Structure 1
């Protein structure tokens, strides 16, 4: 399915998401972003896809549309169905399952592919997808092990994440919010935020060969419509004000992070902060 076809279906795909009940415009922009990504990935009708870190299914819905009625998407996430707000993962999955894409999707929550009990046959999937989920991993080692684990199962890897290299000054607030959250995690105060292990595109390209993959394409992805900059700034400032998380840190680290949070407050706008760009990497 080409870019124009998927983009044209973005409205109906977004409307099928449970989160659209709470913010239809936001859901539409998130779905459009993913439709543009999938259209560039050449996922043909009838394809089998393994999606890691599926969350509430923003990408899952687009992948299922691209795969068509004869395709199949196995969407896994380590989180339990009760995770998420204002819509839980389970509620969102149930909405998708009840719609026209439901027969094409197999949601598997509470599933870690590093668990030996989770297994698929060699070449079971045409594609494996990780979309805006890799910063959730506890470490780069965990991500590397995961990519190595799925290597025999799929022919192609499609990977997208936020790009730590800003292209303009108005993206610095988003970048600073990401780096502060990453530093808190790296210093040993662990939580369940979106950002746990923030790494660069170059970091991923160094990691892929160690996991058995050979990168054969990389490009930037426009994120102009997305609200994630605002979300991460709010999450970061909330985290910086959580005494119990900061109390677990060495005092010099805590003071450094508090000072960085002061800078973030000074440079961030109340809303409408421009998100970092994203990047897409393909591998075989």
Structure 2
């Protein structure tokens, strides 16, 4: 992974998490996988290892290859494609599966995967339409996201950071951060039947080693400190956000904010 050049220890933690995640899924060698929201390819690399030399991973993302820091999506994809897993991966950036020009035959994939990417969607309606669009293309769905329900008090900072970012987006100040539309596991289960998918299982995902709690606290405080983003909010919302940010500063620690747990849902 190209990001390992900047933070080898951090990249190892992220890759180990995804390796454990994919190992818990029923993705056999030779499988074909459609990955939505592939980003820099953290999950893509693990999926490519899982499907083996006879398998294929089509990794799509609506973002431009120039997006991302300190490593762009394009730089990361180039590193993966040039490596031993490259022949198994087909990266497709600037690709929106809701665009009528993007199409695959029915049953083209054994699996469709969304891993820690659904909060990037601009709305739940967009997520719903996307899940419905890919339904004919794949036999099975593997979905993983953060769980909004905290299991301990030391996850409060991560929870607050997520909710504040979601409120800012919902109030009409859109951005390009990791958190745009946070929603609960229960909301996903309410949404799935209308997309043609039938949930059949799932469970908690251990995220204790991940650094995302710290990342989202920092991202949230940077966002709240942006005069441009805050000025576009209605005054009552702005005051509410600022008050919640005060609470976030009070409960957050400089490093080691425990992340929320994750969950996985599988559907057919």
TM-score range normalised by the length of the shorter chain: over 0.9
Q: Which residue of structure 2 aligns with residue 187 of structure 1?
A: 171
Q: Which residue of structure 2 aligns with residue 255 of structure 1?
A: 239
Q: Point out where structure 2 has 5 or more consecutive residues left out of the alignment.
A: none
Q: Which residue of structure 2 aligns with residue 20 of structure 1?
A: 4
Q: Which residue of structure 1 aligns with residue 250 of structure 2?
A: 266
Shift of 1:218: 1.7
Q: Which residue of structure 1 aligns with residue 118 of structure 2?
A: 134
Q: Point out where structure 1 has 5 or more consecutive residues left out of the alignment.
A: 1-16
In structure 2, the residue corresponding to 1:192 is in which secondary structure? coil
Shift of 1:42: 1.3
1:46 and 2:30 matched: yes
- Superposition TM-score, scaled by structure 2 size: 1.00
1:61 and 2:45 matched: yes
Aligned 1:122-271 pairs, distance under 5 A: 122-271=106-255
CA distance in 1, matches of 2:110, 2:86: 20
Superimposed CA distance per residue, residues 78-106 of structure 1 (whole angstroms, 9 cap, x where no aligned partner): 00100000000000000000000000000
In structure 2, the residue corresponding to 1:219 is in which secondary structure? strand
CA RMSD of aligned residues (A): 0.4
> Which one of 111, 122, 141 corresponds to residue 95 of structure 2?
111
Q: Which residue of structure 2 aligns with residue 89 of structure 1?
A: 73
- Superposition TM-score, scaled by structure 1 size: 0.94
Superimposed CA distance per residue, residues 116-167 of structure 1 (whole angstroms, 9 cap, x where no aligned partner): 0000000000000000000000100000000000000000000000000000
CA distance in 2, matches of 1:143, 1:83: 21
> Which one of 75, 78, 81 corresponds to residue 62 of structure 2?
78
Shift of 1:236: 0.1
User: Hey, which bits of structure 1, 4+ residues long, moved more than 3 A?
Assistant: none
Superimposed CA distance per residue, residues 4-38 of structure 1 (whole angstroms, 9 cap, x where no aligned partner): xxxxxxxxxxxxx0000011111011001101110
Superimposed CA distance per residue, residues 222-278 of structure 1 (whole angstroms, 9 cap, x where no aligned partner): 011100000000000000010110111110110010000000000000011100000
